[in-house]
Chains A and B, each alone.
Chain A
Amino acid sequence: MSFAIKALRAYKLPMYILTHPFDGFYDMKYLKQGTLRLAFFNLLAVLVSYAIHDQYAGLVVNPQNPLTLNSLLNWVMIVGALILFCVSNWSVTALTDGEGKLKEIFMMVCYAMTPLVLTIVPATILSRFLSIEEIGFYNMLMWIGMAYFVILVYAGLVVVHNYTASKALVTIFLTFVALLVIVFLITLLLTLWQQLYVFASSIYTELMFR
């Protein structure tokens, strides 16, 4: 019981960020409020919400093929995208006088996910009571969550890096460029690695047949 109260008390910061994004992220960065553990908890909550959504959302909004539904794969994709975004944002902002550390960027994005935590599960429950004509309500809820998330990330970037609004926009654009570069490099690396592997394995087979 005391643990639950503790957890709720710790969750105060994400809720505060929800209503006061700039103040909230300021507290996070400069007053050292919030913990990495809490950020991970928030991330996990989002992942679980998505899994619940894919599994239980009504047929009308969620015509999933149960044979190919793989929540773990979705998790890997979400976490991968998150890591990619954090790393590329950090590498861009490190060059453009951003003050944020990688840890702060990560915590900021995770805290900004609170709207998703708050909307996905209710939308899932709602979708079970909706027919095709009323899908709009479900879509609206999902979109509000997503839009609020994006707005919070933007506000968070401004605060964490101590940027002006326009500079934050520019760095977001550069972040996506860096993201593409990283993906390109990863693909390149994989291809090269595979060629190296083929080379080594063919040498091995040659030697074995000697």
Chain B
Amino acid sequence: MTQLNRLSGGLIDRSATLNFSFDGNSYQGHAGDTLASALLANGVRLMGRSFKYHRPRGVLTAGSEEPNALVELRSGGRQEPNTRATVAEIYDGLVANSQNRWPSLERDMMAINDRFSNFLSAGFYYKTFMWPKAFWEKLYEPIIRKAAGLGSLTGEDDPDVYDKGFLHCDLLVIGAGPAGLAAALTAGRAGAQVIIADEDFRLGGRLLMEAAPLSDMSGVEWVEQAQTELASSPNVRVMPRTTVFGAYDHGIYGAVERNADHLIAPETDKPRQTLWRIYSKRALVAAGAIERPIGFENNDRPGVMLAGATRAYANRYAVTPAQSVAVFANNDDAHQAARDLIAKGVEVPAVVDIRPDAPKIDGTEVLAGAQIVDTKGRLGLTSVTVRLADGQTRVIPCGALAMSGGWNPNLSLTCHQRGRPVWNEDIHAFVPGKDLPPGQCVAGAAMGEMSTHAALTSGAAKAVEALSDLGITVSPVVLPKAEDGPVSLTPFWHVSGAKRAWLDFQNDVTVKDVKLAHQENFTSVEHLKRYTTLGMATDQGKTSNMGALAVMAELTGKSIPDTGTTIFRPPYTPVSMGAFAGRAVGKEFHPTRLTPSHKWAEEQGAVFVEVGNWLRAQWFPQKGETHWRQSVDREVLATRSSVGICDVTTLGKIDVQGVDAAEFLNKIYANGFAKLPVGKVRYGLMLREDGVAYDDGTAARLAEDHFVVTTTTANAVLVYRNMEFARQCLWPDLDVQLISTTEAWAQYAVAGPNARRLLQKIVDPEFDISNEAFPFMSCGEITVCGGCRARLFRISFSGELAYEIAVPTRYGDALMREMMAAGEEFDVTPYGTEALGVMRIEKGHAAGNELNGTTTALNLGLGRMVSTKKDFVGSVLARREGMNTEDALNLVGLRPVDASKPVPAGGHLMGTLGPIDAAHDQGYVTSAAYSPILESAIGLGFVKSGFERIGEQLRLVNPLEGHEVLVEIVSPHFVDPEGEKLRA
């Protein structure tokens, strides 16, 4: 198909012909075209279907405010729905498809909805789907879900890379039209750090769309001159294809840069889009204005578009939507569209102007005081019906209509922090109010200064003001002379008497829907929005909100400013999820932490589990093992019968030093630490301020003024943070210094009857680690393997004779290999977190399942540890009556009466008789495992007065899953209750 609607001139590169397809048809365009301009050039007006009624729709605008021409771009994993054809740059090979239609755009079966529009009016959902109740889940919801949404996704992974980053500047200029460029030139010449960003791929804003000159050159020439200067200034960063979508706290703006959307595919490893967080000291919003449509009967046919858009297509893209274009307006500015089209050789059969005193235009007839009352054309406009000033009607054949109800300053970014715009009677539009986000100012049409002259001068002036605030001296720049006509407009929102006059083209909201909302008392703008779906979805009502609230104002008898606007929220235009994710996708979603023995464990074929960000070996399957339980049972039995090794580096380690280190720990832990001798370790319990237990671990005293505190893996950061808070804020007078050493030391638990014998082969001989010289709960700084500095702690989580040995992390891999070699004669076994968990349950040690944020020291059986003689974090609130009741939950062991039965974790405990309900709840199971030593399932749990009920039987139930197991309350210390093994 030839480009039959292509005009002369324009800012396209006719030497670069690009092939693209739309709905399977092949077309040609040129570099510099958008998909919308190229389709119009090829005579395609029908580009989409509306959301609700599936009405045929064409392009309404030439910018990012487009509500109608939403398409799916690309295919496969790169398919992107709901893309505005008005901002999508074409490239050779572009594949675009229409959406929200079936089977085709021309013949959309869902257009049947339009026939039922009387039933699908505002509030339809709320009225219709309320009854019968039973229909909701099986009928209504599936239907609504199927009908919802516009474009579609393929479900394939996006193959592209997205990036993110951080930028800083003195002045962020948002928008590169005349105001923005004047500001950037001013600030750039002053030496300020400037970022100028524009969503368009070409700088210039409206200067690209207008024919009026700037001094002795065209607007485009002036833009090119400015761009050359800015690009050569090292202190200015020019960012085309970059949408500033949100104004956040402290001068931070969100922006998305489309690096490769204009290419068939990004270069290898290069981002498709980059999400920037811009830290600005000052920001100037020069985002221009958005033209508003007029409501009249059937104003939504393909070919009806905004007057400013027809000018943009004619002047910038050298395209007309049709060979004959009528105009409907209430202002002088729209007359320029008629003049520009006529100058380009397009027929303008008439300019319909509602104003009785509308000025005349050479080359066309101005129908003053007239209104358009209807249009014709099923898939594209063929004629408009005009009611003339004298009441007669006239049908004017035309292929397109350029309409204009005036312009609204683009307020979005000025209101992102709940700023309220104010009404400007001169231009009959809202302009930014005084409550702008801190550090922000506004210039040009975004401020309601509608002439090019005003835009240039206000842009420069606001830059001077903003930089002066920052102490940067600025010399005024010489600006070109530009048109400075006043806004001449008679407010006019809709033609009265229309049956269906569209306000919101995307969501099919008509004047009648607003009237219905009013009739049903949804008169607040926020209610109006929700009731009618006005201003929702991808365009957020950029072209529709003003018209609707003007209609509502009319109905309520209030003024427009009294009616108010809805809240503006980021993002200004849709941002792809990929851009928000950036590089954080797949396994790089968050950083991972690897243990010192990770490489060795991988070589052993370990199965890893995520614990926070850590990857820990969960178990080490051996040949022939087909089920994880086989591996775990073997690891437990081997450790308990000889010796096992487990990487416990992940436990938090906090180095505590200072003259007052002991006193500090005494305040942090519930139990006493002041008198712990040097060379000894003590188990400690930490409480929250409210007296609930939150972490346990050990503290080893390496010197009078030096401790190493260990925490659980999960709470390493929390404990450190709480200790820093205590140090800095609670007891700043204590001499204490803290630093994390979690990562600095590779630490391994060596457990089992042969642990000492194994370690004696590793620890250098000058260090005596016999039971006499190094008894249970000893610690010391030693050397291993011929002189490597190390730390040794005789502590046990498994209940076995056990040690934890630590070397600098870089030697951790080698130490693991050395220990495994040294332990060969003992059949040493590496064990993972599962076996670790089984053994700690067998020993009755509390872990995260028991320290669950609701349990106290008393509950945990650690009540006697809690000192009554000192002040410590949580001491006061731990004494509360309710936390010390006689029937408090106690930590006990649980064994099934029938050893073949499981102990389901999470189950609740009930008496052997009586109902199973919350009122009769006796407690619950926190941890459960199969004990290969006892050859039975076992569990830990909390039971009311549990300590006194050893030997009693209870029913362990899980009504959700249908479990019921008879269990006996036993001591939580299933293995070695007297602690003989660990002291051996």
Q: Please determine whether chains A and B interact with each other in the same assembly.
A: no
Q: A residues touching B (Cβ–Cβ < 8 Å)?
A: none
Q: B residues touching A (Cβ–Cβ < 8 Å)?
A: none
